[in-house]
A and B are shown apart, each in its own frame.
Chain A
Amino acid sequence: MKTEGGSTNDGLSLAPRSGERVGRGARRSVGARAALWAVTTILAAACSSSKQDGPPTTTPPTRVGPLCSARYPGPSPLRRLTRIEYARTVDDLLGPGLVDSSRLPPDERALGFANNAEVVSTGGLLVEAYSDLADEAGDVVAAHAGNYAACAATAPDAACAATFAATFGRRAWRRPLATDEQAALAAVYAGGAADGGFSEGIARVTAVLLSSPQFLYRLETGTSAATPSPAPAVDVPDAVALTPNELATRLSYLLWGSMPDPALLDAADAGRLATPADLAREARRMLADPRARTIVTTFHAQWLGIDQLADASKDQVVYPAYTAALSAAFTRESARFVEEVVFDREGTLGALLSAPYTFGDATLASFYGASPPAAGGDLITLPATQRAGLLTQGAFLAVYGKANQSDPIHRGRFVRERLFCTTPPSPPPNITVRPPDLNPRLTTRQRFAAHTGDPNCSGCHILLDPIGFSFEHYDGIGHWRDMEGGQPVDSIGALSGTDVDSALEGAVTLAGDLSRSTEVQICYATQWFRFAYGRGESTADACSISDLATALAAAKGNVRELLVALTQTDAFLYRRAGDLL
Chain B
Amino acid sequence: MSRRTLLRGAGVALALPLLEAMHPRRARAAAGAAAKRFVSMFTANGTLYPQWVPTGTEADFTLSPILAPLEPNHADLVVVAGLTQQGAGGDGHQNGMSGMLTGQSLNPGPFQGGANTGAAGWANGPSVDQKIASVIGGSTRLRSLELGVQVGVADDWGRMIYQGANQPLAPEDNPAQAFARLFGAAGTTPEAFARARARRKSVLDAVSGQFQAVSARVGTRDRARLDEHATALRDIETRLDLQARPSPACTAPAVPAAVPGHLGDNDNFPTIGRLQMDILALALTCDMTRVASLQWSRSVSMTRFTWLTPAINEAHHDLSHRGDDDAPAQDKLLRINTWYASQLAYLLGKLAAAEESDGSRFLDSTLVLWSNELGKGNVHSRELAPYVLAGKAGGALRTGRFLTYPREVPHNNLLVSILQAMDISVAKFGREDWCTGALTGFI
Contacts and interface: CB of A to CB of B under 8 A. Distances in A.
Interface of A: 21, 23-25, 49-50, 52-53, 77-78, 80, 103, 105-111, 114, 116, 118-128, 131-136, 138-139, 184-185, 187-188, 191-192, 195-196, 200, 203-204, 207-208, 211-214, 216-217, 219, 221, 308, 310-311, 313, 315, 317-318, 324, 402-404, 423, 425-435, 535-536, 578-581
A105 to B, nearest CB: 4
A23 to B, nearest CB: 3
B190 to A, nearest CB: 15
26 contacts: A52-B118, A105-B172, A110-B111, A119-B111, A121-B167, A122-B167, A123-B163, A124-B143, A126-B170, A127-B233, A131-B200, A131-B204, A191-B202, A204-B202, A207-B199, A208-B203, A213-B210, A219-B214, A308-B153, A310-B264, A315-B304, A423-B112, A426-B114, A428-B115, A429-B91, A536-B110
Interface in B116-151: 116-119, 121-122, 142-143, 146, 150
Interface residues of B, number: 88
Contact of B222 (A131, A185, A196, A579): A579
A125 B170 contact: yes
B170 A127 contact: no
B245 interface: no
Nearest to B302: A313
A124 B236 CA distance: 8
Given A121-B168, A123-B170, A136-B3, 5 more contacts: A77-B221, A110-B155, A111-B112, A138-B3, A427-B115
- Give 10 closest A-B pairs by Cβ, nearest first: A23-B119, A426-B114, A132-B4, A313-B266, A127-B232, A78-B222, A311-B264, A110-B110, A24-B112, A105-B170
B182 to A, nearest CB: 12
B206 A125 contact: no
Given A135-B196, A211-B207, A404-B314, A125 B222 contact: no
Interface in B224-272: 225-226, 228-229, 232-233, 235-236, 261-262, 264-266
A106 B115 CA distance: 27
A195 B198 CA distance: 8
A430 B115 CA distance: 10
A86 B211 CA distance: 19
Contacts of B51: none
- Most B C-beta atoms less than 10 A away, residue of A24, A107, A122, A581: A122
B218 A219 contact: yes
A184 B211 contact: no
Contacts of A24: 110, 112, 119
Contact of B218 (A188, A191, A207, A580): A580
A361 to B, nearest CB: 21
Nearest to B121: A119
A21 B155 contact: no
Contact of B154 (A108, A128, A185, A423): A108
Contact of A434 (B143, B150, B166, B321): B321
A107 B435 CA distance: 33
Contacts of A207: 199, 203
A484 B361 CA distance: 59
Given A110-B110, A430-B379, A203 B199 contact: yes
Contact of A109 (B3, B154, B233): B154
A263 B299 CA distance: 47
Given A24-B119, A184-B206, A432-B322, A119 B110 contact: yes
Contacts of A435: 318, 321
Contacts of A192: 199, 202
A109 B155 contact: yes
B122 A106 contact: no
Contacts of A191: 202
Contacts of B112: 23-25, 111, 423
Contacts of A200: 195, 199
Nearest to B8: A132
A580 B218 CA distance: 5
Contact of A131 (B121, B122, B203, B379): B203
Contacts of B425: none
Interface string B356-384: 00000000000000000000001111000
B314 A403 contact: yes
Nearest to A217: B226
Contacts of A120: 225
Contacts of A432: 321-324, 378-379
- Most B C-beta atoms less than 10 A away, residue of A23, A25, A136, A535: A23
A473 B89 CA distance: 38
Contacts of B111: 110, 119
A127 B143 CA distance: 13
A439 B293 CA distance: 41
B380 A429 contact: yes
A343 B232 CA distance: 43
Contacts of A318: 313
Interface string B401-443: 0000000000000000000000000000000000000000000
A125 B195 CA distance: 23
Contact of B232 (A53, A124, A135, A426): A124
B199 A122 contact: no
B169 interface: yes
Interface string B1-28: 0111101000000000000000000000
A136 B184 CA distance: 15
Interface in B173-228: 174, 177, 180-181, 195-196, 198-200, 202-204, 206-207, 209-211, 214, 217-222, 225-226, 228
Given A123-B170, A213-B211, A324-B261, A430 B380 contact: yes
A313 B220 CA distance: 43
Given A132-B7, A212-B207, A118 B264 contact: no
B59 interface: no
B219 A107 contact: no
Nearest to A203: B199
Contact of B318 (A131, A136, A402, A427): A402
Nearest to B203: A207
Contact of A119 (B117, B122, B266): B122
A135 B335 CA distance: 47
Contacts of B204: 131, 211
A109 B156 CA distance: 9
Contacts of A214: 210, 214
A124 B203 CA distance: 17
B267 to A, nearest CB: 8
A213 B229 contact: yes
Contact of B217 (A80, A124, A580): A580
- Most B C-beta atoms less than 10 A away, residue of A49, A116, A131: A131
Given A118-B121, A123-B169, A430-B380, A221 B207 contact: no
A330 to B, nearest CB: 14
B198 to A, nearest CB: 6
A311 B266 CA distance: 8
A434 B264 contact: no
- Most B C-beta atoms less than 10 A away, residue of A80, A116, A211: A211
A77 B222 CA distance: 7
A184 B112 CA distance: 45
B119 A122 contact: no
B154 A430 contact: no
Contact of B110 (A118, A425, A431): A118
B326 interface: yes
B4 A580 contact: no
Nearest to A577: B219
Given A21-B108, A52-B118, A123 B168 contact: yes
Given A109-B153, A195-B195, A78 B218 contact: yes
Contact of B313 (A49, A315, A428): A315
A324 B267 CA distance: 13
Given A106-B153, A106-B170, A426-B115, A204 B203 contact: yes
B229 A122 contact: yes
Contacts of B143: 124
